[in-house]
Amino acid sequence: MKQHIALVAIVVDDYDRAIAWYTERLGFDLLEDTLQSADKRWVVVAPRGGTGTGLLLAKAANERQKQAIGSQSGGRVFLFLHTDDFHRDHAAFKERGVTFVEGPRQEAYGTVAVFTDLYGNRWDLIEPNGRQLPAR
């Protein structure tokens, strides 16, 4: 059996605001933006050149979902963005206004820095060195 995780949902407050941030700040591609109803869209973004998992930008539909915006992982690093050139992407992200809250630093598994997206979700930007990442 072959399986893979295709999408990870991120709860957002506004589709267009989220699309703009992920495409303009991180340089992600907008893969799909399909209207499903008057207030619901199927919006998928993914890292440019990537072949793996995409992000489903899911607009909060109720108060419980609104409360989850920005803290889907309880304040821990939520997503891990691998790169083949840490210094290139770190500099580009900073130039585009991405906020880094930690790093850069060398770890046993590679070069890493922690940034936040527009909602406060924490991400690792990692250039792996080929060694296994530790469990978090």
- For the stretch 89-123, pLDDT in tens is 999 999 999 999 998 999 999 999 999 999 999 99
- Ranges of CATH 3.10.180.10 domains, the chain: 1-69, 71-136
Chain position carrying tokens 């070069």: 111
Residue 134 has pLDDT above 80, yes or no: no
CATH 3.40.190.10 fits 1-69, yes or no: no
Q: Is the dihedral of CA 97, 73, 126, 2 positive or negative?
A: negative
Tens-place pLDDT, residues 18-36: 999 999 999 999 999 999 9
| Total residue count of the chain as it appears in this document | 136
56: Cα within 13 Å, side-chain hemisphere: 11
Please report which residue ranges of the chain form alpha helices under DSSP H: 15-20, 63-68, 86-95
CATH code that applies to domain 71-136: 3.10.180.10
Q: What is the pLDDT of residues 40-73, one digit of tens each?
A: 999 999 999 888 899 999 999 999 999 999 998 9
